[in-house]
Chain A
Amino acid sequence: MCLYGLRPVAEIQFADFVYPAFDQIVNELAKYRYRSGGQFGCPVVVRMPSGGGVKGGHCHSQSPESYFVHTAGLKVVMPSNPYDAKGLLLAALRDEDPVIFFEPKSIYRTEKIEVPASDFTVRLGKAATVREGSDVTVIAYGAMVPLALRAADTASKDGIGLEVIDLRTLLPLDIDHLAASIAKTSRAVILHEAPRTCGYGAELMAQIVENCFWDLDAPLARVTGFDTPFPYALEDEYMPNEQRLLKSIRQTLQA
């Protein structure tokens, strides 16, 4: 369809069902521009609801973003609120390259803010500081952003200032934005739902170490889903929660 000049939008019912299309996304969509020497672009947006918290069991709860972040040629986006969802989606639709657009389904109905009816975009590749603070940087995206904000409210009662960063785009990563925050706080905790091993947090840690090592006063920490299949009955234990995040933040502050 792109060869014909259209800009298709594919909707995967749940991200857990994207795997049959993995070959088409990774070998074809992502590589078509490169392998044709720039003759053909593939401006496709692949939307997919992702993440847990909806009692969906192992095939309606996964967070497979790392598979796509590992793929040259793709852009990977995950909004955390309705305003960004609209702005990022419009930006994705107008982008010349394929965009994997994750929609954290657990916050489809819980995050309520005003969204202008007008045409506006949120630039791809730009993170946002959604709460300023000077003690610890919390790096989150998607449904983990509201969780980080709740934790920031709780922490502030103990006099701890969390700076919460919403990545919004995972690929390409806005490392400058992270570096600026860490230069201020010297400490960071990474938060994501996906399993830990080779999760996006691993890449964040690597890039932070490469770029900000001398600014750090404490080891970087991760609060993530576990390296198990996504469970059904024990979903709440699997998902990162405020207690786990606050515990990690305290450890980071004590280090």
Chain B
Amino acid sequence: MSAETPSPSSAHLLEIYRTIVQTRLFEARVIALNRHGKISLYASSEGEEAGAVACASALAAGDWLFPDYRSTGALFARGVSMSAFLSQLMGTGNDSSKGRQMPTHIASKELRIASVSTPVGNGIVHATGLAWAAKLRKGPEAALVLFGDGATSSDGFHAGMNIAGVHRLPVVFICRNNQYAISLPLAMQTASKTLAAKAEAYGFPGIQVDGSDPIAVYEATAQALARARSGEGPTLIETAAYRLGGHTTSDDAKRYRTDEPGNAWRKRDGLENLRLHLESLGLWDTEQDNTLRDEIGKEIDRCVTRALEEPSPPVSSLFDDVYAEMPRHLQEQRKDVLP
């Protein structure tokens, strides 16, 4: 990284740390809720929280985040509350998307978070489109999109990267390389030496960063955003990590891989790395850590209790928002479900 790389302030680092801890504790609870049948499915980001939090915390308020289904840390860094995310995960009537999407597929106009696309790689195209619009309108906004290693094989990856390169668009591509696309290991995904190398062919820089080093991810993202804003175009950042959990709560990774690599990756935990760093700077200690975990745990308890009491979306809402105005045929069909 070059000398002028913006480094996070102490306060910012502490904020990043708190959000990583929150993500870890929150996901553990969500998985328990899944086991109890309260949340139908969840895609754990265990092992990738640090990278997700760090990259999203480099965004400016006016920027746009295009998360994927394994971006919980980025959502929290962007300002999504645990309550709001629980409403989404449980599909309650309080969800900002009215319970229309499966768990983790959030959307928030207020926080400039695009609607999560299920088809792998599609968000790449949308982030590129947003960046293109910002460039056409000479706006200051940049787009940041998260996707997995598997997404580099999608048509959306090619289409988005290509156009972003051609028009030098203000977009930052974060490829969370967690080594697996469900059961498919990276070696079966690509013959490229690295995923970052793919940017070369599209005419802009691709870099690899250690996903368990939140400071490095923050600095790389901040620099890429600065590049984007100054009209120099996109950057592909490959964050190296490992998907410690299953693909989702519906997956059993033991059926296609052994525990050894995961155990090795656990030792390079981004959360622990940052905690030790903060302690070495005298910014953090065990007592503060215990207090933080305790507070977050209690907040999660409160949010879960509330979310479990939230009502389902009203049946009448089934036909809302298909179009800006409900056409005749939907008004007719609606009568079938209304008492």
| A residues apposed to B, CB below 8 Å | 1, 3-6, 8, 20, 23-24, 27-28, 32-41, 72-73, 75, 95-97, 125, 172-173, 175-176
Looking at the complex, which one of A3, A23, A96, A176 makes contact with B119 (CB distance below 8 Å)? Answer: A23
How far, in whole Å, are A40 and B114 apart by their CA atoms in the complex? 9
14 chain-A/chain-B pairs, Cβ below 8 angstroms: A1-B129, A1-B133, A3-B64, A4-B134, A6-B137, A24-B125, A27-B119, A33-B321, A35-B100, A37-B100, A38-B98, A95-B324, A172-B328, A175-B328
Report the nearest B residue to A43, measured CB to CB: B324
The interface bits of chain B over 316-329 (1 if a CB of A lies within 8 angstroms of the residue's CB, else 0) are 00001111110111
Report the nearest A residue to B98, measured CB to CB: A37
How far, in whole Å, are A24 and B117 apart by their CA atoms in the complex? 10
Which 5 A-B pairs have CB atoms at the shortest separation, nearest pair first? A4-B133, A96-B324, A37-B98, A37-B97, A38-B321
The interface bits of chain B over 82-103 (1 if a CB of A lies within 8 angstroms of the residue's CB, else 0) are 0000000000000111111100
Q: Is the CB of A24 within 8 A of B322?
A: no
Which residues of chain B in 60-76 are interfacial with respect to chain A, using CB atoms and an 8 Å cutoff?
A: 64
Q: Is the CB of B322 within 8 A of A33?
A: yes
Q: In the complex, which residues of chain B have a beta carbon less than 8 angstroms from the beta carbon of A32?
A: 115
Once A and B bind, how many residue pairs between them come within 8 Å at the CB atom?
95
How far, in whole Å, are A36 and B105 apart by their CA atoms in the complex? 9
Q: In the complex, which residues of chain A have a beta carbon less than 8 angstroms from the beta carbon of B139?
A: 4
Distance in Å: Cβ of B81 to nearest Cβ of chain A: 16
Q: Is the CB of A36 within 8 A of B122?
A: no
How far, in whole Å, are A52 and B137 apart by their CA atoms in the complex? 39
Distance in Å: Cβ of A27 to nearest Cβ of chain B: 6
Q: In the complex, which residues of chain A have a beta carbon less than 8 angstroms from the beta carbon of B99?
A: 37
Q: Is the CB of B97 within 8 A of A36?
A: yes
Q: Is the CB of A39 within 8 A of B130?
A: no
Q: Is the CB of A41 within 8 A of B324?
A: yes
Q: Is the CB of A40 within 8 A of B107?
A: yes
How far, in whole Å, are A73 and B141 apart by their CA atoms in the complex? 29
Beyond contacts A1-B132, A39-B108, A175-B328: 7 other A-B pairs, Cβ-Cβ < 8 A, are: A1-B133, A35-B101, A35-B105, A37-B96, A39-B96, A73-B322, A96-B323
Q: In the complex, which residues of chain B have a beta carbon less than 8 angstroms from the beta carbon of A24?
A: 122, 125
Looking at the complex, which one of B122, B129, B320, B324 makes contact with A97 (CB distance below 8 Å)? Answer: B324
| B residues apposed to A, CB below 8 Å | 64, 95-101, 105, 107-109, 114-115, 117-119, 122, 125-126, 129-130, 132-134, 136-137, 139, 141, 155, 320-325, 327-329
Q: Is the CB of A97 within 8 A of B130?
A: no
| Contacts A37-B97, A172-B328; A73 near B155 (Cβ below 8 A) | no
Report the nearest A residue to B321, measured CB to CB: A38
Q: Is the CB of B130 within 8 A of A3?
A: yes
Q: Is the CB of A4 within 8 A of B137?
A: yes
Q: Is the CB of B322 within 8 A of A34?
A: yes
How far, in whole Å, are A77 and B216 apart by their CA atoms in the complex? 51
Q: In the complex, which residues of chain B have a beta carbon less than 8 angstroms from the beta carbon of A35?
A: 97, 100-101, 105, 107, 115
Q: In the complex, which residues of chain B have a beta carbon less than 8 angstroms from the beta carbon of A33?
A: 321-324
How far, in whole Å, are A39 and B95 apart by their CA atoms in the complex? 12
Looking at the complex, which one of B64, B137, B327 makes contact with A125 (CB distance below 8 Å)? Answer: B327
How far, in whole Å, are A6 and B141 apart by their CA atoms in the complex? 14
Distance in Å: Cβ of A1 to nearest Cβ of chain B: 4
Q: Is the CB of A27 within 8 A of B100?
A: no
How far, in whole Å, are A41 and B118 apart by their CA atoms in the complex? 18
Q: Is the CB of A172 within 8 A of B322?
A: no
Distance in Å: Cβ of A93 to nearest Cβ of chain B: 14
